Chains A and B, each alone.
Chain A
Amino acid sequence: MNKKLPITLAALLIAGAAFAQDMALHDGPPKFGPDDPEVKAAYEEDGRWYTADDLPTFNIEDDGTIDWMTYSGFRRYHSECHVCHGPDGEGSSYAPKIKFSAVNMDYYDFYAVVADGRKKVDAAENSVMPAFGDNPNVMCYLQDIYVYLLARGTDALPRGRPKARVDKSDVIREDENNCLGT
């Protein structure tokens, strides 16, 4: 198991009630740039990167090589999320620019919305985010998707397929298999 996961779950329970604020506020522009301490990578552990506050984040080398988690997030995002949120987290006629949501919501709120879903259905809007809580293709890769969108939302990563990446670490591979039950 990812040793960060228990922290995440605990925080999820606390944050569950707090996320019901207006998502439109999170649509952008982004609150942080790529070098802000809120998002800047401070240390690496088994192929995953974290901020000084121990929150998951992306890491991009000087030559543009990105960490595995960010690359994996690119792949999973364009499988599970882009049919509503558009390519590269850029939003669509259907759903908001989620790349900014990742920057402007904190990690736990973001996690809670993905797991539980949300609805804005009234005379002016028919906007529904489904609950992905029981979808292993999303939940086993949520940290990946989050750090990818964080990289997109802070403009650290340009649109399109990332050019170069580091390989998947053994720990990440093992955690994936445990999560998927394979």
Chain B
Amino acid sequence: MKKLISTLIIALLSINCFSQNLDEIVKKHIDAVGGKDNWAKVKSIKTTGSVKANGADIKIVMLQVDKKASRQDIAVMGMNGYNILTTTEGWSYMPFGGQTKPEPLTPDDVKKSQDELSILPDFLTYKEQGKKIEYIGKDDVDGTECFKIKMTNKEKKEVTYYIDPSTYYIIKQTSKDTKDGKEYENTSSMSNYKKLDGGIVCPYNISGGFGEMEIVSMEINPKIDEALFKIAK
């Protein structure tokens, strides 16, 4: 009897710990953020947000056209900078640190960044992008024991996602990358998930090394002038 009970406890505990297989977690996550079908209808997004620094507002506007182009505009202290990425080119103009004119991304960087043009949640696109995912285990994020899933792309760049088991939202992601021999590690946290028009769900608060961005509005499928993805000559 004693053995039976202990076996049962172990069995129950292990069910508790491992019943969630990776596919299930991914499926629940996709459902939590609005589902595959709703996301399939999303072709473009315009996001407006602000980052607070010492009480000052830094305005950010992001334009995304699925698989085609993206642009971020940043307005700090009356100065305006931007990043542009398309299928063929990329530009960066960040005058805040003394940059005087836009600089192009190398063709290699443009090529490597193409996955970022996808507007869909990473767990909807990883297969077609040739990425692999792996369930690492559970890990604590800000007091919440999360599912930890690692995604690795063809160039071995790793992104680790932490999914809150109570909501199946991603609440943190970390990435590691090496560029020109230099290592980069980035961490972002997401919260304040909201349901938008068309049923998709997105975080309205994203914080990371840059500070804390509060999203003011997200427009789904707005018309976006393609000229915005070319730099002003």
Say whether A and B bind each other. Answer: no
